[in-house]
Structure 1
Amino acid sequence: MKSNIKLVASDLDGTLLNSQKQLTQTLYNAIGRLQRKGIIFVPATGRVLNAVPDYVKSIPLLKYIITSNGAAINDIPTGKEIASSYLPVETTINTIKKAAALPIMIEIFSGGKAYTEKKFISNLNYYGVVGQHINYVLSTRTPINNTLQFIKEHPNQIENVNLIFSDDKLRLAFRQELTAENFAAVTSSSPNNLEITSKLATKGNALKTLCSQLNILPEQVVAFGDSSNDEDMLKFAGLGIAMENGEEHIKKIATHTTFSCDENGVLAAMEKFIL
């Protein structure tokens, strides 16, 4: 197993990063060892590119990153987007109109940035954004006046629609509704959100695209994740590893479960299977 691995892909929040959104120094060093062995390391996140922490983007020898749940693959050294799968404009507008009728926060990911209306930013607590997430939103979101107008000005450039709920029953009901329509991929990376992308834009599809470009086989890939938006990535990889803090169905479909993100689970699995 150890000699056969050519690429390692990892989710960020709840996986590579601990619950304090930190990348431990020991794990940072281990990724450096990985890269120096010629093994490609690829962060794969639901975050938009400009919301990826600098300490992740500055990992030694890091070249590729999958963002917006697979809607974009970026080349870090050049800053270029090497592959993308955008939401069709009709699907985006339909989703936004439905969401606007609900008491939820709406975010748009486009061009590596996240946008949300000023009315949401000024009332984050009401929409269920609390604690450390407040500073995260304030530091990574660009305020706009009108979401639909933004979409009309940026047609076919929408990577992701992110919806934030304060009511879980409403979230689950809306997820069912969107899933039944079958116009887009609907996933989640936290207990209070829904992430809507093109049906082609999943972490698994992006990883498959990247591996195809690099002539890497699925059995030469290890993937780490904890949430439903990691599922097809874990299924694609020859070794799909779930975090102990992950969702139960993710642990069931994974080929292995490691320690939690607060116990350096990624590091433990790297040392066992790769390094």
Structure 2
Amino acid sequence: MKNIKLVATDLDGTFLKNDRTISEANIEALHKLGEKKIIRVAATGRNLQKVKAVLQPDLPFDYVVFSSGAGVYNWQTRQLVANQNLKATSATKLLNHFISRDVNFHAFFPVPDNHKHYYYRGKEDCEEFERYFKFNVAHAEPLKTDSLPKGELCQFLIIIKQNEERFNRLKSEIEALCPEIRVIRASSPITPRYIWIEVFHHSVSKGNGVNEICKRLGISKDETMGLGNDYNDFDLLEFTMHSFLTENSPHEIKHKYPVVPSNENDAFAFSVQSLLA
């Protein structure tokens, strides 16, 4: 843990408490990291608008990797520094595929406007789909199947009940459609026992987003540390040299990395304390 120059943390279930507030210990740790000239990165599945809903403008992060790596934002200068959307050809192929399968899905506008999205209700009732829609209805519009969007899209979201076999089958089916795409799995932040299937450009990942920052600043992989709590943090934790999971992570993944206290018990502050000595 010597010579760390960049620390990246997931937000929900990691840096944020369950009520989306931030502990004083975590805020103090951010300030102290800054005093030591260590770059502070939030790496999250949230889009940029939802990041701004939970992080105050003066909170001392340096960068935000948002939408699982589809965008990189300089938190200090308020500038978008990198983004990666799905090409129009892939977006159209995915739209047609999901409509033909008659599944519930959301299709998101390209970065940086990817808080806006189209929605499609399939044949299968899904309470979690409706909950997500209710939370985001202000930025949602129905997908017109007779007049599909023609340009790039940031990502797709499909929500299914917890079912490993079905997830693996859908993942293989989706990724076989075209080489440009990849599937990222996340546990639902809204309701337990649901899987969120997120479809992005194949280069989109939290790890690649953090790597983009490292390349810009001349920081090597050996000088990085990461903290997460879920499946969608694996890309981040596989990139950072020193990686940790929180105690509140799913039981089946805790063996992969050293475990620190839960997000309710200052996981971030605890994990960086050796850097602040």
Aligned 8 A contact 1:87 1:159 in 2: yes
The aligned residue for residue 185 of structure 1 is: 182
Taking structure 2 as the reference length, the TM-score comes to: 0.82
Q: Which SS does the other structure have where 1:194 is aligned?
A: strand
**Equivalent AA in structure 1 for residue 62 of structure 2:** K
Which secondary structure does the structure 2 equivalent of 1:43 belong to? strand
Percent identical pairs in the alignment equals 22
**Is 1:144 the counterpart of 2:141 in the alignment?**
yes
The aligned residue for residue 191 of structure 2 is none
Give ranges in structure 2 of 5+ residues lacking alignment: 188-193
SS in 1 for 2:186: coil
- Find the counterpart in structure 2 of residue 87 from structure 1: 86
Q: Please say if residues 171 and 193 of structure 1, whose CA atoms lie closer than 8 Å, have aligned partners that are also in contact.
A: no
Q: Tell me how far apart the structure 2 counterparts of residues 72 and 99 of structure 1 sit (CA, whole Å).
A: 25
Distance 2:201 2:48 in 1: 17
Deviation, structure 1 residue 189: 2.2
Listed as ranges, the gaps of 5+ residues in structure 1 are none
1:161 equivalent in alignment to 2:163: no
Counting only pairs closer than 5 Å after superposition, residues 1-275 of structure 1 correspond to structure 2 as 1-2=1-2, 4-100=3-99, 101-112=101-112, 113-117=114-118, 126-129=126-129, 136-138=135-137, 142-146=139-143, 149=147, 151-152=149-150, 155-156=151-152, 158-166=153-161, 168=163, 170-181=166-177, 182-190=179-187, 191-248=194-251, 250-254=253-257, 256-274=258-276
Per-residue deviation, 1:48? 1.0
Deviation, 1:218, is 1.0
Root-mean-square deviation over aligned CA pairs: 2.7
Q: Distance in 1 between matches of 2:93 and 2:198?
A: 15
Where 2:102 maps in the other structure, the secondary structure is coil
Counterparts of 2:246 and 2:42, CA distance in 1: 15
Any conservation in 2 of the 1:66–1:72 contact (CA below 8 Å)?
yes
Alpha carbons 1:14, 1:261 under 8 Å: kept? yes
Whichever residue aligns with residue 116 of structure 2, its letter is Y
Distance in 2 between residues matched to 1:39 and 1:98, nearest whole Å: 45
Q: Is the contact between residue 224 and residue 240 of structure 1 (CA under 8 Å) also seen in structure 2?
A: yes
Distance 1:225 1:59, change over 3 A: farther
Sort the Cα spacing of 1:257 and 1:150 in 2 relative to 1 into closer, same or farther, 3 A.
farther
Deviations 1:183-219 (A, max 9, x none): 4121122242111111111111111111011001111
The AA in structure 2 aligned to 1:128 is E
Deviates more, 1:81-90 or 1:43-52: 81-90
Q: Name the CA distance, whole Å, in 2 between partners of 1:144 and 1:79.
A: 28
Secondary structure, counterpart of 2:92 in structure 1: helix
- Matched residue count: 263
TM-score by length of 1: 0.83
Query: Residues 25 and 246 of structure 1: is their aligned pair in 2 closer, same or farther, counting only changes over 3 Å?
Result: same
Output the CA distance in 2 between the equivalents of 1:186 and 1:78.
Answer: 31
Q: What is the distance in 2 between the residues matched to 1:108 and 1:268?
A: 36
Structure 2 CA distance for aligned equivalents of residues 98 and 10 of structure 1: 34
Secondary structure of residue in 2 paired with 1:192: strand
Distance change (3 Å), C-alpha of 1:118 and 1:76: same
Secondary structure, aligned partner of 1:114: coil
